[in-house]
């Protein structure tokens, strides 16, 4: 029996460069199916639901929808609120009042958890209802998925930034430390490796939350690279931890800020980068030591998008609607790699993803724990898209010295 | 009488996204003229000259030269060394030994100063010699010039970054402070204004080194914007100064690092951003206050280039050779705006530029000293290039509330 009613779309968690492609994919696909009578968008995720802050996406032009799809960040705004049982009861009053029968929530593992709680509550309420989680996160930390929409574009930003910084340090020498997002998963930081074209190119060192960060080893690593190349470019994850598993950044922050999911706020401060530069400067007496914290620029930069990521983000939106109608069950749309390189989409039970975190597997991290492997580079390459800008060096021969004063 | 001999190219100061276009422009043009027998490149600016670290650019393929032209940062490497009279004597020994008669130095106002010193020394030595300064700086602070190659691309990066951040803050609200390069000139920070498309778009506040930064006014400005929009996006120049003219960042750094030109190192630390976020958080009790220091990412990011900037950087290289041969004098190639928008190139005496700094003129800064004017936006627009990515918002109508719990 067909389930007829309205659809509701919401976006949760941190924004990405392609999250609106998924939203536009849902809207475009939903318009093709008679079961979905109207398509609402909730403003600010689950907050927008209990407040009945809806907009009628059926009354959006196709042209503008496509323009919004190409605009980074969450066009429906976002939230960090995690609903509990009471919050869910409020949600259902609203859903019932508006006859909403399809709920599409675009977000990460916390959002998958939210969809799971909402769908469980629907069963308790005997409310006929489809709840679909649509994947999104620059952290690439969703289990089951080969990778997640948003990651490829953020990874591309990180790769392009490190390619530029490597050239900068090549011109003026010194040590450079770039702090990259990703929380407890190292995927985004690891993407810096795609900046390497020539054999001596940085990042020469990559530190991930999946391996303990030992300051003495870090100093020794930097010294070795600097002595060899006259420069050292380092990618460091914001989530690096000491041997006891405590995030390094925790020791630097006076006020620890957490969201409703219990996540520590790691971005929005240069403290970790400043600590590491100071440590290198003191230990190695190198004068030119610089650090940048990539922060919020990396996840929504206008005009740095992986075409592959863009296309897949669109498709997971379309598949969410198709699965909801064809399979008649709740779940998460998951991405699976097939061959080298295509993808397949599946519907996976929410409980398999909700609240879980995927980490960099061992085969993606080198034995020394300070860089990635060829297996990771091979994994990453297709996600960045095919039109990456390239880097060239001069290859002109040296001129023989005449005076030889030196 | 024609001056026959070798040409030497060098690059000085901070790298840019298009500095290699100027180098390639010089090489391509020089190859067309018989007076120039061979084209050398000095590695690491003036350091490369006294060390005779030359490469023979006549033996570089056209294809690779074009690839390098599109690669950011200084392909001939750079230096912060400022030659004194003794250093110049050493330079001339080398120039004479290699029969170098044309010297093209691509750089900012410090490099113009270097070219000036070198050309004066040539006169004292009665060495027949042409010394040409080719403009470059992301700071856009060269006098005489309407703008400088490198600025348009860096400005585009800043604009695209702020466009993304504005959308990010729109989705999750809060206060965002982005620290932008530019030393004592506000041009690069001011470019953040190009991120504004919709009336309520950030950056809502822009603080420049050309106006005193009063912390109480800053807090009051942020509060006003935040109360109105629920978010506040702020662009702050790294070079902002207090009422006494002391850079704010000076009070935050334990060790003040200076280059040989006496410039304070302002980048490579998140200290200024962290100070401002802490101040806003304490004064206004807003929990989500974030800061990013754009740092080194902004000047060499691979793949973020203004086509206009790229083209002009190429042309100043070509014109440098043409002026050197046709005008038979020393000088700096300067860019002059004609109409809206084309440019003309002139040869300007080095003494008019050397060591001088251009600041944002009063008509580019609003009366409150916390944003730019329409005149600045009009000045900036053509420099960013015509193919800027655009931003769209959803325009779907609100759905009437049914339960109206709130």
A79 neighbourhood in chain B, CB within 8 Å:
172
Residue of B31, B64, B66, B268 best to disrupt the A interface, most CBs of A under 10 A: B268
- pLDDT of B107: 94
Cα separation, A24 vs A63, whole angstroms: 11
What is the pLDDT averaged over residues A117-140? Answer: 92
List the one residue out of B375, B329, B317, B340 whose CA is nearest residue B39.
B317
- pLDDT of B264: 67
Interface touch B297/A164, C-beta < 8 Å = yes
- pLDDT of B327: 87
Sign of the torsion angle spanned by Cα atoms A90, A91, A95, A98: positive
- pLDDT of A312: 98
HSE, side-chain direction, 13 A CA sphere, residue B154: 32
A67 neighbourhood in chain B, CB within 8 Å:
390, 392
Interface touch B274/A277, C-beta < 8 Å = no
List the one residue out of A79, A81, A100 whose CA is nearest residue A37.
A100
Residue of A91, A282, A303 best to disrupt the B interface, most CBs of B under 10 A: A303
Judged by a CB distance cut-off of 8 A, whether residue B57 touches chain A is yes
Judged by a CB distance cut-off of 8 A, whether residue B346 touches chain A is no
Q: Based on the residue annotation, tell me whether B274 is a catalytic residue of this protein.
A: no
Judged by a CB distance cut-off of 8 A, whether residue A395 touches chain B is yes
Q: Which of A78, A168, A389 sits opposite B15 (nearest CB)?
A: A168
Cα separation, B237 vs B183, whole angstroms: 8
B79 neighbourhood in chain A, CB within 8 Å:
172
Interface touch B304/A277, C-beta < 8 Å = no
Mean model confidence pLDDT for chain B: 93
Q: Which of A27-36, A259-268, B27-36, B99-108 has the least mean pLDDT? A: A259-268
Cα nearest neighbour of A98 on chain B? B402
Q: What is the 3-state secondary structure (H, E, C) of A78-142?
A: CCCCCCCHHHHHHHHHHHHHCCEEEEEEEECHHHHHHHHHHHHHHHHCCCCCEEEEEECCCCCCC
A256, pLDDT greater than 80: no
Cα separation, B208 vs B376, whole angstroms: 13
Q: Identify how many contiguous H helices and E strands chain B contains and give both numbers.
A: 12, 11
Interface touch A403/B293, C-beta < 8 Å = no
Q: What are phi and psi of A231, to 5 degrees?
A: -155, 160
Interface touch A71/B392, C-beta < 8 Å = yes
Judged by a CB distance cut-off of 8 A, whether residue A87 touches chain B is no
Q: Which of residues 270-289 of B touch A (CB under 8 A)?
A: 270-271, 273-274, 277, 287, 289
Cα separation, B353 vs B332, whole angstroms: 8
Q: Which of A117-126, A288-297, B137-146, B322-331 shows the highest mean pLDDT?
A: B137-146
pLDDT digits (tens, 9 = 90+) for B242-259: 999 999 988 776 656 666
Q: Which of B55, B61, B269 sits opposite A291 (nearest CB)?
A: B269
Interface touch A302/B160, C-beta < 8 Å = yes
Mean model confidence pLDDT for chain A: 93
Interface touch A300/B165, C-beta < 8 Å = yes
A260, pLDDT greater than 70: no
> What's the gap in Å between the CA of A201 and the closest CA on chain B?
14
- pLDDT of A219: 97
B293 neighbors A270 (Cβ within 8 angstroms): yes
Name the more confident of A82 and A8: A8
- pLDDT of B263: 67
Percent of chain A with pLDDT over 90: 82
Where do we find the tokens 């079961």? A35
pLDDT digits (tens, 9 = 90+) for A322-333: 999 998 889 999
Interface touch B15/A167, C-beta < 8 Å = yes
- pLDDT of A355: 82
Q: Which of A53, A110, A113, A139 is catalytic?
A: A139
Judged by a CB distance cut-off of 8 A, whether residue B229 touches chain A is no
- pLDDT of B254: 60
Q: Which of B110, B113, B139, B309 is catalytic?
A: B139
> What's the gap in Å between the CA of B303 and the closest CA on chain A?
6
> What's the gap in Å between the CA of A49 and the closest CA on chain B?
11
Judged by a CB distance cut-off of 8 A, whether residue A399 touches chain B is yes
Q: Which of residues 302-341 of B touch A (CB under 8 A)?
A: 302-304
Judged by a CB distance cut-off of 8 A, whether residue A256 touches chain B is no
List the one residue out of A43, A11, A4, A46 whose CA is nearest residue A25.
A11
B277 neighbourhood in chain A, CB within 8 Å:
268-269
Interface touch A396/B300, C-beta < 8 Å = no
User: In angstroms, what is the C-alpha Rg of chain B?
Assistant: 23
Interface touch B71/A392, C-beta < 8 Å = yes
Interface touch B292/A268, C-beta < 8 Å = yes
Judged by a CB distance cut-off of 8 A, whether residue B14 touches chain A is yes
What is the pLDDT averaged over residues B181-208? Answer: 97
Where do we find the tokens 């679909």? A132
- pLDDT of B367: 98
- pLDDT of A109: 87
Cα nearest neighbour of A97 on chain B? B402
B406, pLDDT greater than 60: no
- pLDDT of A328: 83
pLDDT digits (tens, 9 = 90+) for A195-234: 999 999 999 999 999 999 999 999 999 999 999 999 999 9
Cα A108 off chain centre by: 9
Interface touch B292/A289, C-beta < 8 Å = no
Q: Which of A69-73, A381-385, B20-24, B262-266 has the least mean pLDDT? A: B262-266
Pairing of strands A5-11, A36-42: parallel
pLDDT digits (tens, 9 = 90+) for A32-75: 999 999 999 999 999 999 999 999 999 999 999 999 999 999 99
Interface touch A257/B299, C-beta < 8 Å = no
B390, pLDDT greater than 90: yes
B195 neighbourhood in chain A, CB within 8 Å:
302
- pLDDT of A110: 84
Cα separation, B320 vs B132, whole angstroms: 7
Interface touch A389/B303, C-beta < 8 Å = yes
Cα nearest neighbour of B55 on chain A? A398
Cα separation, A349 vs A49, whole angstroms: 23
pLDDT digits (tens, 9 = 90+) for A136-148: 999 999 999 999 9
B21, pLDDT greater than 70: yes
**Is there a cis peptide before residue B406, judged by omega within 30 degrees of 0?**
no
- pLDDT of A259: 63
Judged by a CB distance cut-off of 8 A, whether residue B242 touches chain A is no
DSSP state string for B158-211: HHHHHHHHHHHHHHH-EEEEEEE--TT--HHHHGGGGG--STTPSP-EEE-TTS
A269 neighbourhood in chain B, CB within 8 Å:
270, 273-274, 277, 291
Cα separation, B373 vs B208, whole angstroms: 13
A266, pLDDT greater than 80: no
A389 neighbourhood in chain B, CB within 8 Å:
70, 302-303
């Amino acid at each position: 029996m067909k389930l007829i009613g309205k659809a509701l779309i919401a976006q949760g968690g941190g924004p990405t460069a392609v999250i609106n492609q998924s939203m536009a994919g849902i809207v475009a696909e939903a318009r093709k199916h008679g079961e979905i009578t109207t398509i609402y968008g909730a403003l600010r995720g689950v907050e927008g639901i209990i407040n009945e802050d809806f907009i009628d996406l059926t009354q959006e032009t196709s042209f503008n929808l496509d323009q919004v799809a190409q605009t980074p960040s969450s066009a429906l705004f976002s939230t960090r609120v995690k609903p509990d049982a009471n919050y869910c009861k409020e949600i259902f009053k609203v859903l019932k009042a508006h006859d909403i029968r399809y709920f599409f929530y675009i977000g990460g593992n916390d959002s998958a958890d939210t969809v799971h709680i909402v769908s469980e509550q629907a069963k308790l309420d005997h409310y006929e209802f489809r709840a679909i989680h649509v994947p999104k996160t620059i952290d690439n930390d969703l289990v089951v998925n080969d990778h997640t929409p948003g990651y490829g574009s953020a990874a591309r930003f990180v790769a392009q930034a490190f390619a530029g910084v490597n050239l900068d340090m090549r011109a003026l020498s010194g040590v450079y430390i770039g702090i990259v997002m990703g929380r407890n998963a190292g995927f985004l930081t690891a993407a810096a490796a795609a900046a390497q074209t020539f054999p001596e190119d940085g990042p020469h060192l990559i530190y991930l939350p999946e391996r303990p960060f030992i300051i003495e080893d870090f100093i020794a690593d930097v010294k070795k690279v600097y002595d060899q190349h006259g420069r050292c470019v380092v990618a460091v994850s914001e989530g690096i931890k000491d041997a006891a598993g405590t995030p390094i950044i925790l020791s630097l922050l006076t006020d620890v800020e957490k969201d409703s999911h219990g996540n520590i706020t790691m971005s929005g401060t240069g403290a970790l980068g400043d600590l590491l530069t100071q440590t290198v400067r003191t230990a190695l007496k190198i004068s030119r030591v610089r650090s940048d914290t990539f922060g919020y620029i990396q996840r929504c930069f206008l005009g740095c998008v992986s075409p592959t990521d863009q296309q897949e983000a669109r498709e997971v939106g379309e598949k969410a609607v198709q699965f909801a109608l064809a399979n008649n069950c709740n779940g998460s749309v998951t991405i699976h790699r097939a061959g080298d390189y295509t993808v397949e989409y599946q519907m996976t039970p929410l409980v398999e993803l909700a609240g879980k975190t995927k980490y960099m597997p061992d085969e993606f991290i080198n034995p020394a724990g300070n860089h990635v492997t060829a297996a990771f580079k091979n994994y990453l390459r297709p996600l960045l898209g095919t039109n990456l800008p390239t880097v060239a060096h001069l290859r002109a021969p040296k001129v023989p010295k005449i005076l030889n004063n030196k």
